[in-house]
A = this chain, B = another copy of it.
Amino acid sequence: MSDRMHWSRWGDPARTTTLPANALAMLELAFGPPAPRPAVDQQTVQLPAVGLPDDVLDALRDAIGVEHVDAGVEPRLLHTGGKSTPDLLALRGGDAAAAPDAVLRPADHDEVQALVSFCSERRIAVVPYGGGTSVVGGLTASRDGLVAVVAIDLGRLDRLVDVDEVSSTAVLQAGVSGPRAEELLGEHGMTLGHFPQSFEFATVGGFAATRSSGQSSSGYGRFDTMVVGLKVATPLGTWELGVAPASAAGPDLRQLVLGSEGTLGIVTEVRLAVRTKPATAVYETWRFPTFVDGATAMRTLTQDGINPTVLRLSDETETSLNLAKPESIGADSGGGALMVCGYEGTDGRVERMRREVGEVLQGLGGTPLGAEDGEQWAEGRFDAPYLRDALLDEGVLVETLETATFWGDLDRLYAEVKAALEGALSAQGTNPIVLCHISHVYRTGASLYFTVACRETDDPRAQWYAAKQAASDAIVAAGGTITHHHAVGRDHRPWYAEEIGPIGTDVLRAVKRSVDPAGVLNPGVLIP
């Protein structure tokens, strides 16, 4: 899958886009005169020399076939880092220091297991590579004390291994991407219902390793709630987990692998709870006077046990930008806070949900706006990262971050993170626009997803890191989690350590030492 990705931009190179005139006009209004920042030419990017000795390359070729071990420039570049704005900025500036020494493409679990065992023996760092969509530095391994770094690309593990229609489960290989999962399950009349922003490229293994959560999480749940079994290649051998939907047989060790980001093993297969493909899907929008009013309405729905499939609320600033309708950027949005409610299921279920939700929302100050904007949101829901590249071309720094907490603390978390972002960027002379939405709700709390845009300084990576540090400090101080659905990677490690405390850190390190004694699995990622 990853080969469809542009080397320094999000997604399919054929879908590279530029900003419409109305958006450019708005940018100029917000951030001053144009100051484009094109990326360097791909040909000029220098990669570090390959650090793998010939005997190692030969052994790898013996293990998985000569054509599946590639130390060439292009595949290495295409497996360099992830898709955070700092990652893109590095590549756009010609910095590919994070490139792996080789890209390995095993065919199946046994080959992954052989590679993991070999790399553990030979002290070679291993980065598991699915869609390459990490936005937290999850694909950049430390080389400290190790011979080299290889990317294990799971793209050839793209099969549906088993469907159990009675149990409503399916076993998918780790390299299956979001669209391929839906295609494979669709042949059996089923859906997974997992649609994160990264859907078009991210993979089942990555969803598991990062505790992903999709845009339909209100209805279908987080990815971790869909996982009933896992198969993992570790330096100690194959680890299989999950014999029942739920169990009281000790701690749930599946929950230790979920979110382990390749540091405890490489997930090669996942057994997932699946659902009947919905007959109908309707997406509607509602307007609330304020973000707080809309959030109260979402909370009421969820605590009353009414769960539309999609539930999403933009704050006043995000609402005002009309981001779901690029041709209307800069035009009047109608004000207030826009909510998207999506309903999927049988015709009867969809109708009942719409009625139930509608009654609650109208009682809480919502104004129904019909289906037009909702459908447009649904159509464009995976396009935002393309827009980011177009903004970076124009010298506009854009990045996102997200957190979650309990409902009672949400207003404070929102205010403090927003203030931290505005403060840190204004202090650099680049007043930002800060947008926020809620896209994942629970009975007890919700996530907050911030998008930040401002004019780039001369060193946009340092510029962003200052803002990110301020926001992360604010998150920890306000009692939120450092990430609700993007994982820890390298970027969140200091705050993650604060979040889990010294005992949590000791426990994680102990687990890590026990399954990865040589420390080759995605070193530098996650473990504080």
A164 — nearest CB in chain B belongs to which residue? B408
A349 to B360, CA, bound (A): 14
| Chain B residues, CB < 8 A from A32 | none
By the criterion CB–CB under 8 Å, are A258 and B252 in contact?
yes
By the criterion CB–CB under 8 Å, are B250 and A259 in contact?
yes
By the criterion CB–CB under 8 Å, are A250 and B484 in contact?
no
**Do A244 and B406 form a contact, CB below 8 Å, given A224-B252, A259-B249, A303-B168?**
yes
By the criterion CB–CB under 8 Å, are A407 and B168 in contact?
yes
**Do A259 and B251 form a contact, CB below 8 Å, given A442-B246, A514-B507?**
yes
| Chain B residues, CB < 8 A from A511 | 507, 510-511
| Chain B residues, CB < 8 A from A305 | 345, 349
By the criterion CB–CB under 8 Å, are B239 and A484 in contact?
no
Choose from B167, B249, B492 the contact partner of A407 (Cβ within 8 Å). B167
| Chain B residues, CB < 8 A from A303 | 168, 275-276
**Do A244 and B515 form a contact, CB below 8 Å, given A250-B508, A255-B251, A444-B228?**
no
By the criterion CB–CB under 8 Å, are A500 and B213 in contact?
no
A302 — nearest CB in chain B belongs to which residue? B168
Chain A 127-171 near chain B by CB (<8 Å), digits 1 or 0: 000000000000000000000000000000000000010111100
Chain A 46-74 near chain B by CB (<8 Å), digits 1 or 0: 00000000000000000000000000000
A406 — nearest CB in chain B belongs to which residue? B167
By the criterion CB–CB under 8 Å, are A507 and B210 in contact?
no
**Residues of chain A from 478 to 509 with CB closer than 8 A to chain B in the complex:** 479-488, 492, 496, 499-504, 506-509
Chain A 231-270 near chain B by CB (<8 Å), digits 1 or 0: 0001011011101111111111101111111000000000
Choose from B234, B253, B484 the contact partner of A247 (Cβ within 8 Å). B484
Which of A164, A168, A442, A506 neighbours the largest number of chain B CB atoms within 10 Å of its CB?
A: A168
A243 — nearest CB in chain B belongs to which residue? B481
| Count of chain copies | 2
A93 to B485, CA, bound (A): 56
| Chain B residues, CB < 8 A from A445 | 167, 228, 244-245
Choose from B222, B250, B444, B526 the contact partner of A500 (Cβ within 8 Å). B250
Interface: A424 (CB within 8 A): no
| Chain B residues, CB < 8 A from A406 | 164, 167, 169, 228, 244-245
By the criterion CB–CB under 8 Å, are B168 and A243 in contact?
no
Interface: A513 (CB within 8 A): yes
A129 to B403, CA, bound (A): 37
**Do A167 and B408 form a contact, CB below 8 Å, given A248-B212, A503-B236, A503-B239?**
yes
A488 to B253, CA, bound (A): 14
A210 — nearest CB in chain B belongs to which residue? B248
**Do A515 and B508 form a contact, CB below 8 Å, given A246-B222, A248-B213?**
no
A168 to B247, CA, bound (A): 26
By the criterion CB–CB under 8 Å, are A246 and B483 in contact?
no
By the criterion CB–CB under 8 Å, are A237 and B167 in contact?
no
A514 to B512, CA, bound (A): 12
Chain A 438-453 near chain B by CB (<8 Å), digits 1 or 0: 0010111110000000
Interface: A418 (CB within 8 A): no
**Do A252 and B259 form a contact, CB below 8 Å, given A407-B167, A506-B514, A513-B510?**
yes
A442 — nearest CB in chain B belongs to which residue? B245
Interface: A401 (CB within 8 A): no
Chain A 383-413 near chain B by CB (<8 Å), digits 1 or 0: 0000000000000000000011111110000
Q: Can you list 6 contacts pairing A with B, beta carbon distance less than 8 Å?
A: A213-B248, A237-B503, A245-B443, A249-B500, A253-B508, A509-B514
